Structure formats: structure tokens, C-alpha cells
Amino acid sequence: MNDTIYSVITGTGSYIPSLHVSNEEFLTNEFYDVEGKKLEKKNQDIINKFLEITTIAERRYVTDNLVTSDIAYFAAFDAIKSANIDKEELDYIIVAHNFGDVRNGNNRTDIVPSLAARVKHKLEIKNPNTIAHDIIFGCPGWLQGIIQADYFIKSGDAKKVLVIGADVLSRISDPHDIDSMLYADGSGAVVLEAQKSKGPIGILAHKTRSDTFLYSKMLHMDKSYNREYKNDMFLKMNGRRLYQYALETVPQAIQDCLKKSNTDLSEIKNVLIHQANGKMDDAILKRLYSLNNLNDIPENVMPMTIDWLGNSSVATVPTLLDLLLKDKMKGYKINKGDKLVFASVGAGMNINTMIYKM
């Protein structure tokens, strides 16, 4: 039996910002509805309901001196050290983000040069053959970067690829929109390497779908709900419809990927899913098992960080993976040979999923 080239994760890294922001920090916010009318409900009642729906109790923000490319670099440095590789041997650096370097006090996007170019500069990589580029794909951006890296490796174009997911959402969230409590900052990264193996290892299969015809405006940029804000643009979301869309499509996307990799759901050790809403993820998992006629969901199959890290978009899944592989998630242990599901859904609307064998 001939050896086959597989894409294998050899190192992980993450940066969890230092500022803890609890739900109580929003008690003094003035919240408005989509029509610009101030909400009459007490903030404490709003916060209590928010926690019940999303399971988010706190989130992390970066300090004023940091931007997205800074924290992307921190995670990248960590991943390269974890992989124990020569950074000059990297063939690609792919940075997934959504808003570029948004500076404190000015929410204008800055993406020239690309964040990948900035990270390569910060890493002091001199090799001109280390190609650095960005990917904008909503919350599934990091996983789509992994999928691109897999294509590079399988084609023989690359042997080592660094894929980073980083966002600073705290600076593009509308303080007068309840949804601002969802968003957080963070970064995560992995090093993927080409490895020959007689049996399947690493990335076994992946699937992506993009539903732009009906759902391209589910997440978009718009003015503050507070009409006194005239110039700044903030992230807006149709949360109720997004919940429904995710529940209708993500479980089937995972199911299709399982089938593509000839993997049964019962073989999966953990489901690593993008965390935008804890209750939504629970519903997605329940529907996935229902598709497989399985009523009993294994305990601890879906590790979660959203309750204390919030929704950091492209950083949620790689950060979760880093914490798991470095034994920083109590009650979880990933071992050699375990099979994992990765899945994400976000702006576009885009969905992607991957089956991975440790």
C-alpha cells in the first residue's frame, strides 16, 4: 500500500485577551431597537434574558494598545513554537479576519497591507517564498483557511502552512444594540504540515457551502440603532433568522462531510463548533444526532468556551482546539486516533465543516 500525503496539525497557539468584561458591564448601556426607539425594559432584565438565550456570562476584550494583527502574531508565534518548526520554512501564512486592524477610538477598517503581511513582518520572516494573504469569509474564515491550506498541501504546492483566525469585534459592535453583548476579541492559530501515511490521518474530508442568494444580508454593516450616531458603521445581525438558518443547514452539512469521509457519527470523539450562541449550538448538536437516529448524545462531546470567552468569530474554533490540545479544558482529553468534527457558520451566509483524525 502506497503512502498518501495528508494535512496534519503539528502545532497550535492562541491569544486570550486580558480584559474580562462581564454582563454587568452593560448595565449602564442605553439599548435601542432597530427602529431607533429606546428599549423600556430594565437593563438587568435584558441581561438576564441574554444569558438565558446565549449562555454568555462574560467575554474578553483587547487592551487599547492592541489591534488584530498584534494578537494574530501572538497566536502565530505560539503555534510555531508548539510545532517546533523553522518559521522560514513556512510556504503560506493565511490570516482569517473580518475587519482588519480597527484601532481604539476609530472603527475604520485598515487592511493595507494585509494582516498576513503584517504578521509575517512581526515574525521577522525573510523568506520571499513564504506567501502571506488574508481570507474574508465571515466566522467560518479560519476553517476555510484550513481548507485552502489542505488544497495547497495535497497539490504539492506547500509542505508547511500557518493558518490564523483573529478578530477584534469589540470595536465594531454597536453599544446601543443588545447584540453587542455577543461579541468578543481573540486569536487562534495552527501549523499544518504535509505528512505521508499508509492509513488516513489529519484532514479526512471537508465541505463548504455558500448561501448568498437569500442570506447575504443576514449579517451586514449599518448605522447605530442610536440615531445620534451619524458616521460610524457597526456590525448588525438578524439573530432570529440566523438561528433558524443554522439549525436548518449546519447539521446536514456535517452529515454530508461525515459521509464524504466514510465516518459514522458514533466514531466522533468531539464536535468543535463555532460558538455564537450556546443554545443554538446545543440545538444543532441535537439535530445532528437526530439525523443519525441517535437519541443519546455522549457526555462532553461538544466542548464549549462561549460562556467565558463570548463570540470571537474566526478565533473561536482555533482557540478551543489550542485549549483542548494543551489540556486546558477540564474534563476533556484528546488522544491519538480520535476523530473530530469542525464546523462553522457565519456571514455570507457561509458554512464549512471538516472531519479530522488525530
Q: Render pLDDT for 121-167 as a digit per residue (tens, 0 to 9).
A: 999 999 999 999 999 999 999 999 999 999 999 999 999 999 999 99
CB atoms within 10 A of CB 7: 24
- Which of 3, 9, 356, 2 minimizes the C-alpha distance to 197? 3
Where on the phi/psi map is residue 272: left (φ > 0), alpha (ψ -120 to 50), or beta?
beta
Q: How many CA atoms lie within 13 A of 126 on its CB side?
A: 0
**Residues in a beta bridge with 196:** 5
Separation between Cα atoms, residue 138 and residue 344, nearest integer Å: 9
Cβ contacts of residue 215 below 8 Å, gap of 6+? 245, 348, 349
Using an 8 Å Cβ cutoff, are 88 and 155 in contact?
no
- Residues 57-101 have pLDDT tens digits of 999 999 999 999 999 999 999 999 999 999 999 999 999 999 999
The pLDDT assigned to 229 comes to 81
Instruction: Read off the pLDDT of residues 306-358 as tens digits, 9 standing for 90 and up.
Output: 999 999 999 999 999 999 999 999 999 999 999 999 999 999 999 999 999 99
Banded pLDDT at 1 (limits 50, 70, 90):
low
Confidence of residue 107 (pLDDT cuts 50, 70, 90): confident
CA distance 303 to 37: 38
Place of cell 458554512: 351
pLDDT range class, residue 8, cuts 50, 70, 90: very high
| pTM (predicted TM-score) | 0.96
Q: Average pLDDT over the chain, rounded to whole?
A: 96
Cis, bond preceding 113 (omega within 30 deg of 0): yes
Distance, in Å, from the CA atom of 184 to the CA atom of 23, rounded to the nearest integer, reads 12
In the predicted model, is pLDDT for residue 231 greater than 80? Answer: no
**Closest listed residue to residue 180, CA positions, set 44, 19, 305, 25:** 25
- Topology of domain 4-197, per CATH? Peroxisomal Thiolase; Chain A, domain 1 (3.40.47)
281 touches 292 (CB < 8 A): no
Specify the fold of 202-357: Peroxisomal Thiolase; Chain A, domain 1 (3.40.47)
Q: In the chain, at which residue ranges do the beta strands (DSSP E only) sit?
A: 4-15, 19-22, 58-61, 92-96, 131-135, 160-168, 185-197, 202-210, 219-222, 234-237, 268-273, 339-346, 350-357
Domains 4-197 and 202-357 share a fold: yes
DSSP characters for 254-313?
A: HHHHHHHTT--GGGEEEEEE--S-HHHHHHHHHHHHHHTT---PPTTSS---HHHH-B-G
Structural domain spans, the chain: 4-197, 202-357
